[in-house]
Amino acid sequence: MKHLPDIPILQTKLMPPVVRKSFVRRTALVDMIEKGIDEGFMLISAPPGYGKTLLVADWAAQTQSPVAWLTLDSLDNNLFILNRYLRAMLENIHITIGDLDEELPPRGDASEHLNSILTALINQRANAASDVSLVIDEYQVIDNPRFHEAFTYFLDHFPPHLRLILITRADPPFPLARFRAKQSMLEIHTPELAFSLEETDQFLNIKRNLNLPPEKVKDLFEKTEGWITGLELVSLSLGKSSLIDQPGISLSGSADLTLEYIVDEVINQLPLPTQEFLLRTSILQNLYGPLCDHILEPFSKVGESRTILHELYHANLFLTSLDSSEHWFRYHALFANALRHLLAERYPDQVRGLYLRASEWCDQNLMPDAALNYAASAKDDQRFISLLEKYSLDAIRNDRFLDIVARVSQVDENLLAASAWLSMIQAWGCMLSFDLESGEYWLRKASRLAENTTTEGGSDQKRDFIHGMITAGQSMLAAFRGNMNEALERSAQALQLLPPENDFAHSFALVNQGLALSLNGEPNRAIEVLENAIRESRNSGNWLAMMIARINLGEILEDTGQLNRALTVFSQSIQFLSSASVPISAFEGVIYKDMGSIFLARNELDQAELYLRKAIEPALEKRVLINEFDTHLRLSSLYQARGDLSQAKKELTLARGFSMHSQSPLDDLLLAISDARSELLQNQSTVAQKWAQVFRFDPKIGLSNLNGVPPSLQDNIILLTSRYNLVQGRLIGDIEQIKLATRDLEVLLDPLDKAGLVEHQIEANVLLALAYHEMDQSQEMLDHLGAALRIAEPEGYRQVFLDEGIFMSRLLIHYMAYLKSSKPHEDLPSRSFVSDLLFRLTAGEPDLPVSEPGASSPAAVDNNMIKLFTAREREVLQLLSRGRSNAEIALDLHISINTVKRHLNNIFMKLGVSTRTQAFRVAQTRGLIR
């Protein structure tokens, strides 16, 4: 089978039309363009047939600056296609955007790519030393608002050393009034383009050699109102028709002008073979000798079409040459419409066959887009679908998946619904635009069609690929919705079907591998693979895979304690999403939730609340239930950290509502863990006891029901079980139950270390320190608390310590004394970090103002705080508050000054301060002094 490349660049679109000798030179207009174009850009806007394009082509042939030309067509509304032509046009005048590829957005984001091309052009021209000219013809075919918006921005920042002409049949949707006010635009419209009486005489009598008397010239001028195409048509019929003598004929070029009669008068005067040629070839968008021969083969002698085309062109019969070699031509649009109208009248039974033969020739000669267009014009749905499937398979094999996605998206959905292959591509097109609901709809349709489609010999690769892509799509949807077990299962199935050499498909392989490594406890390898997945999916335009890889990379970095790197990944992802041209706020919600979790772990509660609230704000479209569920769980933890237990309960209730909607056992388990942990942190165990019964928990033997728990949550269950043992043992004074907690936690430490789960490592060591403290094993307590602090300090983990409240305060005071008595060692956590934790536990923010006497009522007594101090320390604190010196305190209490200093040192440590003034402020705030 021949190689079918992606839709090629048509060089004829990048060439100005050839100006024929019969063209009437518009010297005044050419001078107007040349003089005015340096003042800004030029807009030439008029109905068809007023010579806009040929006028500019004549100017382009005379101007001194290099000229790049682009003729637009309706397919250029697809920005993927348009961007390719814009770059090709610029390269024709040696403006290369390619060297900026590393700065341009990936090709999957066509809108951003367009903006970057235009911005690069602005910057390149701003630093240029000479002028270049750009001509964009047929602008009226563009109806893509993203292009209008980007081009308006370009015109607002129009650079020096660039000359631009836009040719259009209707004014574009630009802020023209603003451009006129700024005098940054020169306009040429119908009144300037219409032939004057003198130009009409020159055209008819000199160029057409009709030798008409002045009154006839004037009559034709008045009837055509200077409309050039009308004059061309009339001139061809003169001498063979009484048309100009018929009253009531309007030739003004208005939308309701009937050309069929005029063209019929012209055609009827031509030899019959020429008429037949014109009629049958009128179905072609572009005319080429061999193509014309192919469609005419059943009707006329083959091999003469190129000669006929040349004769018609040089006879000025509404043919435009598309290249300087005169191989490709195009009929004037109005002339072609009239010809097709006559073809349908005379040979209605031939029209479909002509289109099909044109489609056949284009398919054989590697012109896929034209082949598809002709098949569509023939209304042959089966052929159209067959061709599109064929081109799609080839595009995918050659890593041009996005090109074919763009083409399929333009097809009527009723046609797509008949093909499993095209339904699958449409599904991916929707998902790559982050329209997940539509993507899921088309995946289901593709799956049903694929199951009902039988495959014949030689089509195994196609069958495997479609099933692989459907399964990969289902995997992506499952991953996005948080169902990682299903995602991994389907992704593994897809990998067995998808070709490994295909970059687009390989993106899924890397994402799957990264997620699997993460779940299997290999985070470092998972990070490396996901970073590769991000690069590869970015290069291949697989945006859905890229965003899932980004989010999971950030979450793994967060789990492994690399909070700064995680924040960088999340921040860069938000920047990407904010500049994207498609609604993808569902991803924003997930990222905001993860960023909020990081700030919560660091006890930066205001920032945490800001991001967690943004994750579920109503403005976000297509929010995901699993994300809202997780976010409310985190908000519950945040309010508990603030001591707002009522609001914490409300957030758990909201999470429970989302859990009911999701109908997922995993959500119920997460909710139960959060609820039980919240209660245990309050040193209560009622809810936890009920939870323990569900898992058949026996304090003597531990858990006996982990079989149904996903591996990723088993650590959470063991931590919670150990916490339950600690709290319950503390409440009932059962040292053996506390020992059970230490037994489970000591076993858990090694797997947590190997898995790199930093926050769980910290919590496990914290719980061990608390347990050993209850058991009066000071050295073990110090060892585990030190391990927790050393792990936590580099990335600023605080909340895991602060959650433990007064119990952690006691441990930190002991540890501060241990730090003071120990020799400096690089493995020890810093005193400032320990002091900061003590300060947050006991004093709140460090910049609390000193209360003015009598300004407000005294603060409520913090009974938990009072328990930290001995009776003698409380006496010293009261005297300190009255401004007593050390000597005065020693005298009042009948103790030595050194003893006073020792008491003050203990007070400072317990309050988390370092000066007498700070001690007074904190003690007053906590209600410790009156």
Q: For 442-463, what is each residue's pLDDT tens digit?
A: 888 888 888 776 544 445 667 7
- Burial (CB count <10 Å: 0-12, 13-18, 19+), residue 20: middle
Ramachandran area for residue 885 (φ above 0: left; ψ -120 to 50: alpha; else beta): beta
pLDDT for position 694: 58
pLDDT at residue 27, rounded to an integer: 86
Residue 263 has pLDDT above 70, yes or no: no
pLDDT digits (tens, 9 = 90+) for 408-420: 877 778 878 878 8
Give me the percent of the chain exceeding a pLDDT of 90.
Answer: 19
**What tens digit of pLDDT does each residue of 710-728 get?**
666 778 888 988 898 898 8
Q: What angle do CA 625, 628, 631 make, to 5 degrees?
A: 150
| pLDDT surpasses 90 at 319 | no
Q: Mutual orientation of helices 260-268 and 272-281 as an angle, nearest 10°?
A: 140
CB-based contact 639:648 (threshold 8 Å): yes
Concatenated DSSP letters of 750-811: HHHHHHT-HHHHHHHHHHHHHHHHHTT-HHHHHHHHHHHHHHHGGGT--HHHHTTTHHHHHH
The DSSP annotation for 87-138 comes to: HHHHHTTT---GGGTTTSPPTT-HHHHHHHHHHHHHHHHHT-SS-EEEEEE-
8-12, 302-306, 615-619, 640-644 — most confident range: 640-644
Tokens 């363009």 belong to which residue? 33
- Which pLDDT band holds residue 661 (cuts at 50, 70, 90)? low
Return the minimum-mean-pLDDT range out of 22-31, 90-99, 756-765, 817-826.
817-826
- Determine the Cα–Cα distance for residues 173 and 835; give it in Å rounded to an integer: 64
Average pLDDT rounded to a whole number, residues 242-248: 45
| pLDDT value, residue 48 | 76
pLDDT for the residue 655: 84
Among 533, 558, 561, CA closest to 547: 533
- Rounded to the nearest integer, the mean pLDDT of the chain is 79
φ, ψ of residue 576 in degrees (nearest 5): -60, -45
pLDDT at position 137 is: 95
Length of the chain: 930
Residue 571 token pair: 């921040």
Give φ, ψ of 186 to 5 degrees: -110, 135
Counting beta carbons within 10 angstroms of the beta carbon of residue 840, is it exposed (0 to 12), middle (13 to 18) or buried (19 or more)?
middle
> Above 50 in pLDDT, residue 603?
yes
The 10s digit of each residue's pLDDT in 107-162 is 456 788 888 899 889 988 888 888 899 999 999 899 898 999 999 999 988 998 89
Average pLDDT over residues 902-926: 76
CA distances from 537 to 83, 108, 319, 429, 545 (A): 20, 10, 46, 15, 6
User: Which range, 104-108, 672-676, 851-855, has the best average confidence (pLDDT)?
Assistant: 672-676
Report the pLDDT averaged over residues 29-55: 85
For the chain, first and last CA: distance in Å? 94
Instruction: Give the pLDDT of residue 557.
Output: 93
Would you state the pLDDT for residue 609?
94
Tokens 């053996």 appear where? 736
Q: How confident is the model at residue 269 (pLDDT cuts 50, 70, 90)?
A: low
Distance in angstroms (rounded) separating the CA atoms of residues 683 and 678: 9
**Which of 122-126, 278-282, 509-513, 790-794 bottoms out in mean pLDDT, i.e. has the lowest?**
509-513
Cα(83)–Cα(106) distance, integer angstroms: 12
Whether 243 shows a pLDDT value over 60: the answer reads: no
What pLDDT score was predicted for residue 226?
A: 79
Tokens of 524: 């470092």
Residue with the larger pLDDT of the pair 102 and 515: 515
Instruction: Report which of 718, 777, 705, 720 is spatially closest to residue 746, judged by C-alpha positions.
Output: 718
- Give phi and psi for 134, each to the nearest 5: -120, 135
- pLDDT value of position 258: 41
Q: Who's near 524: CB < 8 A, 6+ residues apart?
A: 560, 756
3-state SS, one letter per residue, for 68-86? EEEECCHHHHCHHHHHHHH
